[in-house]
Amino acid sequence: MSQTKKIILVGSQNAGKSTLFNQLTTTFVTTANYSGATVSFKTAAARESLLKNTDITDTPGLVSLSGNTPEQEVTVKRLFDQDFKADLFIAVIDATQLARQLLIVKQLQEAGLPVVVCISMLDILEKSGQKLDIEEIQKGINCPCIAINNHDTKSVFKIVEFIEKFEVKPYDKKLPKKYTQDKIEMTFREIDTLVEKVVSGDKKSKELSSLDKLLLHPIFGFVIFFLIMGSIFVSIFSLAGYPMDWIDELFSYLTDKTAEALGDNWFSSLMSDGVVAAIGSVVIFLPQIIILFFAIGYLEGSGYLSRAAMLIDRPLSALGLSGRSFVPLLSGFACAIPAMMATRTIRNKAERLVTIFAIPLMSCSARLPVYVILVAFITPKDEPWKGGLAMTALYFASIFFGIAAAAIASRFGAFKRSGNSHFQLELPSLKLPLFKVIYRSTYERSIYYLKKAGPTIIIIGMALWFLTNYPKGANDSETASTSYAAQVGRLIEPVVEPMGLDWRGGVAIIASFAAREVFVESMILTYKSEDMTIDTDTDDEDKISSQKLLERMRTVTFEGTDQKIFTASTCVGLMFFFSVALQCFPTVVVAKNETGSTKIAMIQLFTFTGVAYLGAVIIVQIMRAAGFA
């Protein structure tokens, strides 16, 4: 068997590295047009139909080997680790950004590495009225150059052909020299001279296009930004209704069939109510998760997010942040954990700490299930646009909370920034993103959500089933009142009662600290007690599943009274609580690791959760005093 070739892709974040990786390999990674999208090395076998016995690695974006961010320093250190072997380095360079991106090619050559330059985006350069002389640039940098269009699968065969013919030779790997400022300036002057020689045509393309002038306008740019983000949040609520109903019906059917197949016993109840229903409580919200991830992927692939980062750089700078913080903050809408890791691209330490501090306040995908239930409770079912507006308000509220937290934190201790953090960003060309790449990135992110949330919810669902069903009483009603969950819940009921909840709601909140989306499954299990106990002999109308949870919420009362638990005030208070509270313990762990400080992680946990609780209590009490039950 022939030895496996090892190929490394290097280059800027915007050059098309991850897209090329997707084209060449059997594994797809997220493609994004901003710093921090690819935060780890990705290795996969090349497609057998293209290359045999070849492994390809995609690396985090690098502009130069003189790393000045935590992410870049780790990347360079890994590349030059003696245990990290590679036969060929492919430097992926954007044809529209040659003057900036050729620096890393020179540095790779000086380090003694075997390099081939892959020039992408050539079609975009030509559309702008310019032309690149490939032979001339090869002479200028003394390195093989291959021009491809990443979105054209046929052009990828050029790089495949080169790899097939490339003869692996031993080489001496040298640590890259740290460039002084004078050396950097001199190198860029040499590169500029070369670019002037090899690029012909209309040089006015470097100026902002009329569309960019509109997108970056200090007034209209923000109007467009808020319209785009608002449309996304409205669509999350309004477009996902039908598939969510279908999924709910499917899992109600599966729950029934599981109970029928296993008979009337404890194991049947555990599997149907504790496992199948728990899986359904995760899957039902997948349509909304998919819409969110697809929308973010489209904005990434189109090049708009880089423009949004530039647009809000000025207002963020007043809060101790910069445009670099925008992408990690926006990533927080998906999940706080990778969002915190994406802050490694921020050079200024204080700015990085402030960004990490604010990220948990972004409404991550785990909050969606909670929001959906609460919004659906207070808005008419036949007017989904009202629910969409409420969802938009929740997301913009989370942005406001994050900005407020950043503004406050940036004035204290380690968060206080000294000096200015100059923000520079390459503007990738605006283009229609490749649907296949968006589809794959959406798929991977959605699978990540299911893998992250699913096991936790199933385990907690089984635990809650046990806690709500044991010890057994003389009848179901007595079991509900004397169960372990009831005993724990009554201990914390005085704490949650000012929020408008009883002990069952308190148990659901406690359970949600493992993962926010657990709240919905916990509600299903705790509020199915008493007269709503699931039994295979009862009529369908008496059962409670995710599709019946809303009906149950509308009728359930405090024990021994006719006072309803869930009202408009309770739901609004819970929305505020879940918008602010830091209820994901894995996020606390990552915050500690990324900041290197247990103190900062604990400040986040107790400050956000404390403010969330006090705010929820105040909202509920004020609304009740004002006559909003």
Residue 543, pLDDT score: 40
Q: Which domain holds residue 31?
A: 5-207
The answer to whether residues 258 and 150 belong to one domain is no
Q: What percent of the chain has pLDDT over 90?
A: 13
User: What's the mean pLDDT in 570-578?
Assistant: 95
Instruction: Tell me the one-letter amino acid at 212.
Output: D
pLDDT tens per residue, range 380-403? 877 877 888 888 889 889 888 988
pLDDT-derived band at 224, boundaries 50, 70, 90: very high
SS3 200: strand
Whole-angstrom distance, CA of residue 311 vs CA of residue 581: 29
Which pair of structure tokens corresponds to residue 253?
A: 């059917």
Residue 547 placed within a domain: yes
Q: What percent of the chain has pLDDT over 70?
A: 88
User: What's the mean pLDDT in 517-536?
Assistant: 64
Residue 619 placed within a domain: no
pLDDT-derived band at 28, boundaries 50, 70, 90: low
Q: Which residue has the higher pLDDT, 149 or 32?
A: 149
**CATH number of the domain where residue 30 is located:** 3.40.50.300
pLDDT-derived band at 204, boundaries 50, 70, 90: low
Residue 161 placed within a domain: yes
Q: Which helix (H) or strand (E) holds 199?
A: strand 199-201
User: What's the mean pLDDT in 220-224?
Assistant: 90
Residue 370 placed within a domain: no
Q: Which of 17-26, 112-121, 450-459 has the lowest mean pLDDT?
A: 450-459
- Give yes or no for residue 16 having a pLDDT over 90: no
Residue 456 placed within a domain: yes
The answer to whether residues 203 and 258 belong to one domain is no
Angle, alpha carbons 10-16-19 (nearest 5°): 105
Instruction: Please give the backbone phi and psi of residue 119, each rounded to the nearest 5 degrees, phi first.
Output: -95, 115
Whole-angstrom distance, CA of residue 581 vs CA of residue 566: 20
The answer to whether residues 186 and 246 belong to one domain is no
Taking the model in full, what pTM does it have?
Answer: 0.69
**Range list of H helices, 111-178:** 122-127, 134-141, 156-165
The answer to whether residues 62 and 135 belong to one domain is yes
Residues 6+ apart with CB under 8 A from 570: 499, 500, 501, 620
The answer to whether residues 198 and 280 belong to one domain is no
Number of domains in the chain: 2
The answer to whether residues 17 and 136 belong to one domain is yes
pLDDT tens per residue, range 283-341? 877 887 888 888 888 887 788 888 888 888 878 877 767 777 887 888 788 778 778 87
Peptide linkage before 471 cis (omega within 30 of 0): yes
Residue 234 placed within a domain: no
Q: Which of 566, 586, 605 is the last residue of a domain?
A: 566
Residue 443 placed within a domain: yes
The answer to whether residues 202 and 247 belong to one domain is no
Instruction: Tell me the one-letter amino acid at 596.
Output: G
Q: Which of 566, 585, 606 is the last residue of a domain?
A: 566
Residue 110 placed within a domain: yes
The answer to whether residues 118 and 244 belong to one domain is no
Residue 477, pLDDT score: 63
The answer to whether residues 266 and 153 belong to one domain is no
Residue 606, pLDDT score: 93
User: What's the mean pLDDT in 436-444?
Assistant: 79
The answer to whether residues 193 and 249 belong to one domain is no
The answer to whether residues 82 and 150 belong to one domain is yes
- Give yes or no for residue 372 having a pLDDT over 50: yes
pLDDT-derived band at 536, boundaries 50, 70, 90: very low
Which pair of structure tokens corresponds to residue 17?
A: 């590295």
- Give yes or no for residue 144 having a pLDDT over 50: yes
Half-sphere exposure of 626 (CA within 13 A, CB side): 9
Whole-angstrom distance, CA of residue 572 vs CA of residue 568: 6
Instruction: Please give the backbone phi and psi of residue 91, each rounded to the nearest 5 degrees, phi first.
Output: -90, 110
The answer to whether residues 166 and 29 belong to one domain is yes
pLDDT-derived band at 540, boundaries 50, 70, 90: very low
Residues 6+ apart with CB under 8 A from 203: 130
Q: Which residue has the higher pLDDT, 480 or 430?
A: 430
Q: Which of 32-46, 204-218, 490-504, 593-607 has the lowest mean pLDDT?
A: 32-46
